[in-house]
Amino acid sequence: MTVGVEVVVEGLTKSFGRQVIWEDVTLTLPAGGISVLLGPSGTGKSVFLKTLVGLLRPDRGHIWIDGHDLANCGENKLYELRRLFGVLFQDGALFGSMNIYDNIAFPLREHTKKNESQIRQIVMEKIELVGLNGAEGKLPGEISGGMRKRAGLARALVLDPEIILFDEPDSGLDPVRTAYLNQLIVDLNAEIEATFLIVTHDINTARTVPDDIGLLFRRELVMFGPREMMLSSGEPVVRQFLNARRHGPIGMSEEKDVSELEAEAQQGHDPGALPPIPPQLMPTAGRLRRSQQAPGTWLAANGVVPPPGSFVDERGRDWLREYPRLLGSVR
Ligand SMILES: Nc1ncnc2c1ncn2[C@@H]1O[C@H](COP(=O)(O)OP(=O)(O)OP(=O)(O)O)[C@@H](O)[C@H]1O
Ligand SMILES: [Mg+2]
């Protein structure tokens, strides 16, 4: 079983030529936690993930993992640190001419000296974990988009990573498949306890899955912190993004200009009340996730009153009141 490792990012800055992508990004991915990174298209979320795994080198800053600085270490150390990571690329990045089994076995054949029977055991275990039983002989082109995502996830898991990065795992999936995938991510985190970072555009995913949420906007990390802090924040960009509102600093062309914002202000757009904070998605079986906190923990510790209707699930159960009892029902 993996344990998950803390990732501390300090003052990270990345540019390509004269184009600064983001500057001075500082955040901590807690060991075993689930974090989500949001941001308008083109703000450098994928670049951030690639920098974290060492595929891109930052201009400056640090990425501390187990006392080593991945951003500033030599090639040998970097190779070693990279093996802590599993990455689920946006399109699954499967080899089209290889069946699902061989795709999932690929990293084991490339990076380990395991024999085929050891490989079979690991591959079948991961196939089971992501619910792809029976699909192992199919080519990527013969299965659905949702199944390809799960195959990509199985492949990201075979080397038992301590840190898993998901680049838009839910893009191109219908809402039902997205819901299943989100549940799979939560269950997986409960089971393997690795550190997760998910880049997503799906507001529902961002609102219900993670322990922590970060938002990249205008070349900086606007805010990063506990889900309850982000969902109760009045900061205009955070508020607009997490509530999928049209009015606010983010426009269709990503960023509104000053005149548009002034026009909106003059028309007196009222940001309105914050919507209720939904309960966090629970693992379906077994134990709680290691990093899971009781609903309302951050709010209570900070004296923040949640919007009315918060923590009530679609069955009308109030998680704020009934958490200890409801906990029993998921165990
Ligand atoms: N290898 C590269 N060389 C030069 N510029 C790059 C490179 N990779 C990315 N960029 C630029 O960095 C910026 C951020 O790209 P990135 O793919 O990280 O955005 P993103 O936030 O993931 O967007 P989306 O939500 O659409 O996936 C873009 O302007 C892109 O053109
Ligand atoms: Mg991207």
3-state SS of the chain? CCCCCCEEEEEEEEEECCEEEEEEEEEEECCCCEEEEECCCCCCHHHHHHHHCCCCCCCEEEEEECCEECCCCCHHHHHHHHCCEEEECCCCCCCCCCCHHHHHHHHHHHHCCCCHHHHHHHHHHHHHHCCCCCCCCCCHHHCCHHHHHHHHHHHHHCCCCCEEEEECCCCCCCHHHHHHHHHHHHHHHHHHCCEEEEECCCHHHHHHCCCEEEEEECCEEEEEEEHHHHHCCCCHHHHHHHCCCCCCCCCCCCCCCHHHHHHHHHCCCCCCCCCCCCCCCCCCCCCCCCCCCCCCHHHHHCCCCCCCCCCECCCCCEHHHHHHHHHHHHC
User: Ligand 1 in contact with 215 (CB < 6 A)?
Assistant: no
Would you say residue 5 has pLDDT above 60?
yes
Bridge-partner residues for 108, per DSSP?
none
**What is the distance in A from the centroid of ligand 1 to the CA of 49?**
11
The span from the CA of 196 to the CA of 188, in Å, is: 10
Sign of the dihedral defined by the CA atoms of residues 66, 67, 70, 73, in that order: negative
Indicate the top mutation candidate among 22, 37, 45 to test ligand 1's pocket, ranked by most ligand atoms within 8 A of CB.
45
Q: What is the pLDDT of residues 179-238, one digit of tens each?
A: 888 998 999 999 888 999 999 988 999 999 999 999 999 999 999 999 999 999 988 889
Give the pLDDT score at 251: 60
Q: Write the burial class of residue 28 (CB in 10 Å: 0-12 exposed, 13-18 middle, 19+ buried).
A: middle
**pLDDT value of position 262:** 62
Contact 192, 283 (CB under 8 A): no
Does residue 172 lie in a domain region? Answer: yes
309 Cβ below 6 A of ligand 1: no
Better-predicted residue by pLDDT, 245 or 331: 245
Tell me the whole-structure pTM to 2 decimals.
0.89
The lowest-confidence range among 6-15, 57-66, 92-101, 249-258 is: 249-258
Provide the residue range defining the domain that includes 28. 1-84+161-331
pLDDT at 33 over 70: yes
Spatial CA neighbour of 85 closest among 156, 185, 15: 156
**pLDDT at residue 70 above 90?**
yes
Domain-embedded: residue 107: no
* Distance (Å, whole) CA 165 – CA 163: 7
Q: Which residue from 12, 16, 20 has its CB within 8 A of the most atoms of ligand 1, so it is best to mutate?
A: 16
Residue of 177, 123, 122 whose CA lies nearest to 147: 177
Q: Residue 93 domain-assigned?
A: no
Q: 144: which 2 tokens?
A: 């659905």
Q: What is the pLDDT of residues 130-186, one digit of tens each?
A: 889 999 999 999 998 888 888 998 999 999 999 999 999 888 778 888 888 899 899
Note whether residue 177 is domain-resident.
yes
Rg from Cα positions in the chain: 21
- Kindly state whether residue 57 falls inside one of the protein's structural domains: yes
Work out how many domains the chain is built from and give that number: 1
CA of 219 to the centre of ligand 1 (A): 12
The answer to whether the beta carbons of residues 165 and 85 sit under 8 Å apart is yes
Does 252 map to a domain? Answer: yes
What value does the mean pLDDT take over residues 317-329? 78
Would you say residue 152 lies in a domain? no
Pocket test for ligand 1, best of 20, 21, 50, 219 (most atoms within 8 A of CB): 21
The domain that holds 26 is classified in CATH as 3.40.50.300
- Residue 243: CB partners within 8 Å, gap ≥ 6? 203, 274, 275
Q: Confirm or reject: Cβ of 42 under 6 Å from ligand 1.
A: yes
| Confidence at 331, pLDDT banded by 50, 70, 90 | very low
C-beta separation of 22 from 14 below 8 A: yes
Residue 169 and residue 159: Cα distance in Å, rounded?
A: 19
Domain assignment of residue 267, yes or no: yes
Distance from C-alpha of 102 to C-alpha of 108, rounded to nearest angstrom: 10
Question: Region 306-315: what's the mean pLDDT?
Answer: 91
